[in-house]
């Protein structure tokens, strides 16, 4: 089976978020299972790659009345489509806070170029796997423009970002005009790239079983709940995984003391070292938030509860960047049990995973969430809101599980969950048992990859 994996970002070549990690992980593990897989992504100015080989493949497209030539470079595991006018810029999607005005031409053009390269046999595939709005038009182009028999799988990572553009985009990127209607790509007078992927792919996946259900509701559907209900027969929820070779406390070179499930008591050594560094008491429970400081991650809930949290017998560490970072820095100046690091520092993040007793994720919505999985891999008991992938990965201790969960995003329920966590920590035997359970759970890419292979086999069996 030949799979072409299409993504706007693939680690280590380009990364702005979890899509890059997912792409890297799935490509790596598909190879492990003998699938002939290759990634394809834009050749950005910021691309982190060496020794790429320029191929004799390529395509010229007319986009918005102008010709653009895409040259094809390759590494061992990935193709890169190069057009410096479109992708030779300082940012992948645009400066922080806004996207480039021609992102429809950039990613619509990329999707059409990939599709034409497949249709002419320059890129080979039995199954094409597209991801999020940036590559969502590939299923449409393959089916409606190039009429290829290649099967397509489309993964929704975050429905909140749909790739919405003016009606003129139809002509600008070469979408057949007859598809600008509400049963295809039209959405309230706009062109919706994500909708194109949903309608024209052979199978849709999203990143957790619960999120697959949630996006069919008004609360989480962002206007696409109707179309997702219509196509629910081809929608699957596959829980994301993490790379257990990358995230492994037994071999992690960044942490103070390596440990595993067999000798997890060594985890406390990490906490001792970090507590000394931060000037906090190692005896108190350490509750950490390692994520973006954005609305989605439930940060307003934390800020609204800061005064009450300051009175709890626990220390809180926050690591991340985003729109609320100044608010967190201000709070840390008032309350001594709040430590805030407004940066993304992987080495420190790993130290924090290895040292923390609890990992905190009070997200308003969470398609999957990898932070809680990494935290549990490192022996952190999760404190999470029951939404999306958090609901799928964390079972409450009151139900025979191993974590702390809450339903309503209110001050009362959130503070109650923190108090329950502290009570659990104070019951040493019960807490140790939870740590052992979370470290023994399987959230690996292995499990996820097997499910994607089943999806590829399913679409190939369709006539």
The DSSP secondary-structure symbol of 52 reads: P
Residues 6+ apart with CB under 8 A from 408: none
Q: Do domains 2-241+446-461 and 264-443 have the same CATH topology?
A: yes
Mean pLDDT, range 263-269, rounded to an integer = 94
Mean pLDDT, range 141-152, rounded to an integer = 98
Q: How many CB atoms lie within 10 A of CB 268?
A: 15
Burial environment of residue 182 by CB neighbours within 10 A (0 to 12, 13 to 18, 19 or more): exposed
**Would you say 113 and 80 are in contact if contact means Cβ atoms under 8 Å apart?**
no
Residues of each annotated binding site for ADP-alpha-D-glucose = 15
Q: Is the pLDDT of residue 327 over 80?
A: yes
Alpha-carbon gap, residue 108 to 101, rounded angstroms: 13
Alpha-carbon gap, residue 1 to 212, rounded angstroms: 27
**For residue 316, what pLDDT is reported?**
99
Mean pLDDT, range 59-64, rounded to an integer = 98
In the three-class reduction of DSSP (H, G, I as helix; E, B as strand; rest coil), residue 42 is classed as: strand
Per-residue pLDDT reduced to its tens digit, 172-216: 999 999 999 999 999 999 999 999 999 999 999 999 999 999 999
Residues in a beta bridge with 406: 385
Band of pLDDT at residue 344, cut at 50, 70 and 90: confident
- b/e 124-141 (16+ beta carbons within 10 angstroms → b): ebbbbbbbbbbbbbbbbb
Identify the architecture of domain 2-241+446-461 in CATH: 3-Layer(aba) Sandwich (3.40)
**For residue 179, what pLDDT is reported?**
98
Per-residue pLDDT reduced to its tens digit, 75-124: 999 999 999 999 999 999 999 778 999 999 999 999 999 999 999 999 99
**Would you say 421 and 383 are in contact if contact means Cβ atoms under 8 Å apart?**
yes
Looking at the chain, the whole-number percentage of residues with pLDDT higher than 90 is 96
List the domain boundaries for the chain: 2-241+446-461, 264-443
**For residue 462, what pLDDT is reported?**
82
Identify the architecture of domain 264-443 in CATH: 3-Layer(aba) Sandwich (3.40)
Burial environment of residue 116 by CB neighbours within 10 A (0 to 12, 13 to 18, 19 or more): buried
Q: Measured between alpha carbons, how far is residue 86 from residues 62, 81, 131 in Å?
A: 13, 10, 20
Per-residue pLDDT reduced to its tens digit, 398-442: 999 999 999 999 999 999 999 999 999 999 999 999 999 999 999
Alpha-carbon gap, residue 23 to 46, rounded angstroms: 18
Q: Is the pLDDT of residue 220 over 90?
A: yes
Mean pLDDT, range 241-263, rounded to an integer = 96
Band of pLDDT at residue 167, cut at 50, 70 and 90: very high
Mean pLDDT, range 264-272, rounded to an integer = 95
**For residue 257, what pLDDT is reported?**
98
Q: Is the pLDDT of residue 148 over 90?
A: yes
Q: Is the pLDDT of residue 376 over 80?
A: yes
Note the residue count of the chain: 463
Q: Measured between alpha carbons, how far is residue 204 from residues 54, 76, 113, 129, 232 in Å?
A: 33, 28, 22, 10, 9
Alpha-carbon gap, residue 129 to 452, rounded angstroms: 10
Residues of each annotated binding site = 15
**For residue 17, what pLDDT is reported?**
83
């Amino acid at each position: 089976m030949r799979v072409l994996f299409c993504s706007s970002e693939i680690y280590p070549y380009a990364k702005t978020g979890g899509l890059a990690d997912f792409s890297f992980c799935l490509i790596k593990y598909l190879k492990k299972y003998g699938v002939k897989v290759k990634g394809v992504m834009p050749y950005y100015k910021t691309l982190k790659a060496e020794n790429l080989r320029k191929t004799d493949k390529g395509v010229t497209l007319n986009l918005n009345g102008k010709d653009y030539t895409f040259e094809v470079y390759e590494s061992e595991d990935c193709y890169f489509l190069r057009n410096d006018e479109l992708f030779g810029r300082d940012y992948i999607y645009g400066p922080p806070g806004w996207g480039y005005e021609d992102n429809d031409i950039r990613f619509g053009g990329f999707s059409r170029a990939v599709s034409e390269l497949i249709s002419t046999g320059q890129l080979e595939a039995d199954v094409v796997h597209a991801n999020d709005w940036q590559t969502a038009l590939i299923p449409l182009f393959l089916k409606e423009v190039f009429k290829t028999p290649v099967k397509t799988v489309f993964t929704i990572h975050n429905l909140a970002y749909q790739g919405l553009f003016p009606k003129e985009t139809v002509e600008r990127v070469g979408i057949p005009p007859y598809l600008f209607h509400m049963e295809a790509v039209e959405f309230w007078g706009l062109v919706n790239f994500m909708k194109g992927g949903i309608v024209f792919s052979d199978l849709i996946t999203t990143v957790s079983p619960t999120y697959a259900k949630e996006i069919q509701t008004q609360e989480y559907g962002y206007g696409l709940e109707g179309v997702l209900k219509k196509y629910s027969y081809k929608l699957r929820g596959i829980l994301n995984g993490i790379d257990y070779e990358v995230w492994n406390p037994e071999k992690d070179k960044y942490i103070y003391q390596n440990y595993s499930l067999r000798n997890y008591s060594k985890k406390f050594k990490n906490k001792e070292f970090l507590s000394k560094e931060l000037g906090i008491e190692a005896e108190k429970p350490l509750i950490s938030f390692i994520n973006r400081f954005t609305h989605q991650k439930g940060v307003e809930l934390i800020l609204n509860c800061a005064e009450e949290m300051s009175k709890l017998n626990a220390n809180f560490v926050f690591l991340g960047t985003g729109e609320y970072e100044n608010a967190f820095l201000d709070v840390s100046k008032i309350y001594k049990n709040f430590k805030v690091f407004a940066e993304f520092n992987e080495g420190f993040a790993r130290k924090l995973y290895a040292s923390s007793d609890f990992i905190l994720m009070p997200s308003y919505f969470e398609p999957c969430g990898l932070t809680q999985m990494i935290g549990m891999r490192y022996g952190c008991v999760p404190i999470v809101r029951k939404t999306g992938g958090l609901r799928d990965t964390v079972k409450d201790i009151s139900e025979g599980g191993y974590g702390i969960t809450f339903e309503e995003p209110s001050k009362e329920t959130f503070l109650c969950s923190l108090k329950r966590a502290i009570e659990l920590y104070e019951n040493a035997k019960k807490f140790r048992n939870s740590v052992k359970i979370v470290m023994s759970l399987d959230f690996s890419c292995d499990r996820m990859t097997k499910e994607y292979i089943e999806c590829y086999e399913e679409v190939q069996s369709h006539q």
